[in-house]
């Protein structure tokens, strides 16, 4: 069984345990995100499903699927680019806190890390001192990966 197959099986079992269903179309969209090392837009996922599964999906359907997958903690929405990435913690059963995304500006590769709670508390306190309330502490950091910097 491949790593993606194991992730898909775990995602399906997790959904079942919560009384939800990972339908064929939801599986196809999740598979596309797991297969990609970069974030994908809804339209890129439509193209992926057409190419890989010969499945025509409407944009509104893909957005609903992505919303479902996000609610089930299987994917994350990147706010800056309005794209989606598979959660790197699908196999874990515990809460992972606030995600930090390192995004290569050259090849668009993404890595998900978890921000320590103390750091989030500090950021929220700093924002509060300046008269702001943090709505979403998710961080998206523009970087260059080692492969791109060395090529």
Q: What is the pLDDT of residues 20-58, one digit of tens each?
A: 999 999 999 999 999 997 899 999 999 999 999 999 999
Cα dihedral: 50, 72, 60, 113 (round 10)? -70
Predicted local distance difference test score (pLDDT) of residue 91: 83
DSSP 36-95: -SB-B-HHHHHHHHHHHH-----HHHHHHHHHHHHHTTSEEEETTTTEEEE-TTTT--S-
Q: Which domain holds residue 115?
A: 98-149
- Whether residue 146 has pLDDT greater than 90: yes
145 marked as binding residue? yes
What's the predicted TM-score (pTM) here?
Answer: 0.86
Confidence band of 94 (pLDDT split at 50, 70, 90): low
**Whether residues 80 and 102 fall in one domain:** no
CB 25, CB 61: distance < 8 Å: yes
CB 18, CB 11: distance < 8 Å: no
**Whether residues 8 and 78 fall in one domain:** yes
The Cα 86–Cα 33 span in angstroms is: 5
104 marked as binding residue? yes
87 marked as binding residue? no
**Whether residues 26 and 75 fall in one domain:** yes
92 in any annotated domain: no
11 in any annotated domain: yes
20 in any annotated domain: yes
- Whether residue 93 has pLDDT greater than 80: no
Give the CATH number, domain containing residue 80: 1.10.10.10
What angle in degrees, to the nearest 10, is found between the helix axes of 42-53 and 59-71? Answer: 100
Quickly count: other Cβ atoms within 10 Å of residue 139's Cβ: 16
């Amino acid at each position: 069984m491949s790593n993606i197959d194991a992730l898909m099986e775990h995602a399906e079992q997790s959904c079942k345990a919560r009384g939800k269903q990972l339908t064929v179309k939801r599986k196809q969209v999740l598979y596309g995100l797991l297969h990609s090392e970069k974030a994908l837009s809804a339209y890129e996922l439509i193209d992926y499903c057409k190419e890989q599964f010969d499945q025509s999906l409407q944009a509104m359907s893909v957005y609903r699927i992505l919303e479902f997958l996000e609610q089930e903690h299987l994917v994350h929405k990147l706010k800056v680019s309005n794209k989606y990435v598979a959660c790197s913690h699908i196999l874990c059963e515990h809460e992972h806190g606030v995600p930090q995304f390192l995004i290569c500006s050259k090849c668009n590769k993404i890595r998900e890390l978890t921000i320590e709670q103390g750091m989030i508390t500090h950021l929220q306190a700093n924002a509060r001192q300046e008269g702001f309330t943090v709505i979403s502490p998710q961080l998206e950091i523009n970087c260059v990966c080692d492969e791109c910097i060395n090529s």
